[in-house]
């Protein structure tokens, strides 16, 4: 009886969100975009996706990799844009539900169920690696392991793109780090470019920075503030 009552309440709530609030009850977004189970407003979702795709293209630029790695792909929200920048794209995701959705959507991508702290790839395997709002959700005690693994699987000439929280705020599931700390964590790669991660216009807070790190062949360039 209790379960039936709960089911009725949840159904009513979902219908209200769809037809009154005009939102999509898409639980995956609770993981990747912070809109929670009530769903993402379609205009906001579309605006954010557009802005993020622009930032990806700006950060990677004209560079084209032979093999690229996406850390924490979720259900593949940004995967096709990242895959455009390499001959062969790989992606990892620890959540089996999200990974299953990604595999159904993008059969040409090599997906693996794994965490950043233990990557199932050989040394020096990728010449492009991207973490888009993933490392900021790894506890500080585990972050060093994840970054060590990223450095291990990247070639010395690889480009590493991060979009992460920059600052000192933290919660039970989110940890920012000052810009200098991100730079120190990824040495010997050099930070050669960064820009504010500006997303949809209705988001008034600071959403972190998009950062580009380059390997030993990198030249210091002007940084977009």
Angle at 90 between CA 45 and CA 160, to 5 degrees: 80
pLDDT one-digit tens code per residue, 115-125: 999 999 999 99
Q: Are 199 and 48 in contact (CB under 8 A)?
A: yes
Task: Answer whether residue 176 is part of any domain.
Answer: yes
Query: Whole-number mean pLDDT of the chain?
Result: 85
* pLDDT tens-digit readout, 95-113: 998 899 999 999 999 999 9
Q: Concatenated DSSP letters for 194-207?
A: EEE----TT--S--
Residue 37 lies in a domain: no
pLDDT in tens, 173-209: 999 999 999 999 999 999 999 999 998 787 788 999 9
Contacts of 209 (CB under 8 A, 6+ apart): 162, 163, 164, 166, 179, 194, 195, 196, 197
Specify the pLDDT at position 48. Answer: 86
Sheet holding 209-214, edge to edge: 110-112, 86-92, 65-71, 126-132, 154-164, 209-214, 190-196
pLDDT at 40: 54
pLDDT value, residue 63: 96
Q: Which element (helix H / strand E) includes 71?
A: strand 65-71
What CATH code is carried by the domain that includes residue 65? 3.40.50.150
The rounded radius of gyration (Å) of the Cα atoms in the chain is 18
For residue 47, name the pLDDT band (cuts at 50, 70, 90): confident
Is residue 32 one of the residues assigned to a domain?
no
pLDDT computed for residue 45 by the predictor: 78
For residue 135, the SS3 value is helix
pLDDT of residue 38: 47
Six-digit token pair at 98? 């999200």
Range of the domain at 68: 42-214
Answer whether residue 219 shows pLDDT above 60: no
Nearest to 42 by CA among 18, 15, 11: 18
For the chain, the domain total comes to 1
CA angle 118, 192, 55 (to 5 degrees): 75
Tell me which of 50 and 12 has the higher pLDDT: 50
Q: List the beta bridge partners of residue 69.
A: 90, 129
Write out the two tokens for 170: 């933290």
Asked if the structure places residue 2 within a domain, the reply is no
**Residue 9: band (very low, low, confident or very high) from pLDDT cuts 50, 70, 90:** low
Answer whether residue 112 is part of any domain. Answer: yes
Q: Which contacts qualify for 53-59: CB closer than 8 Å, 24 or more apart?
A: 53/78, 53/81, 55/163, 55/195, 55/197, 55/198, 55/210, 56/81, 56/82, 56/85, 56/130, 56/132, 56/161, 57/81, 58/195, 58/210, 59/161, 59/163, 59/193, 59/195, 59/210, 59/211, 59/212
For the chain, give the percent of residues with pLDDT over 90: 68
- The DSSP secondary-structure symbol of 78 reads S
Q: Does residue 114 sit within a domain?
A: yes
Looking at the domain assignment, is residue 6 inside a domain?
no
153 touches 124 (CB < 8 A): yes
pTM of the model: 0.82
Distance CA 89, CA 14 (A): 36
Per-residue pLDDT of 131-167, as tens digits, reads 999 999 999 999 999 999 999 999 999 999 999 999 9
Per-residue pLDDT tens over the stretch 33-43: 554 444 456 67
pLDDT single digits (tens) 59-78? 999 999 999 999 999 999 99
């Amino acid at each position: 009886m209790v379960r039936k009552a709960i089911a009725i309440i949840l159904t009513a709530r979902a219908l209200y969100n769809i037809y009154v609030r005009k939102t999509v009850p898409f639980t995956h977004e609770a993981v990747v975009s912070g809109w929670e189970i009530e769903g993402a407003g379609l205009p906001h979702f579309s605006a954010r996706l557009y802005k993020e795709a622009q930032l990806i293209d700006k950060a990677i630029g004209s560079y084209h990799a032979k093999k690229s790695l996406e850390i924490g792909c979720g259900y593949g929200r940004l995967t096709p844009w990242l895959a455009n920048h390499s001959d062969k794209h790989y992606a990892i995701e620890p959540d089996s539900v999200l990974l299953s959705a990604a595999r159904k959507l993008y059969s040409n991508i090599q997906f693996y169920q794994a965490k950043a702290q233990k990557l199932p790839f050989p040394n020096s395997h990728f010449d492009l690696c991207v973490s888009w709002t993933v490392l900021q959700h790894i506890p500080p005690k585990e972050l060093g392991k994840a970054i060590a693994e990223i450095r291990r699987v990247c070639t010395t000439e690889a480009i590493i793109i991060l979009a992460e929280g920059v600052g000192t705020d933290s919660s039970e599931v989110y940890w920012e780090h000052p810009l200098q700390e991100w730079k120190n964590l990824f040495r010997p790669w050099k930070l050669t470019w960064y820009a504010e991660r500006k997303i949809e216009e209705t988001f008034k807070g600071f959403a972190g920075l998009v950062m580009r790190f380059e390997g030993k062949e990198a030249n210091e360039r002007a940084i977009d503030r």
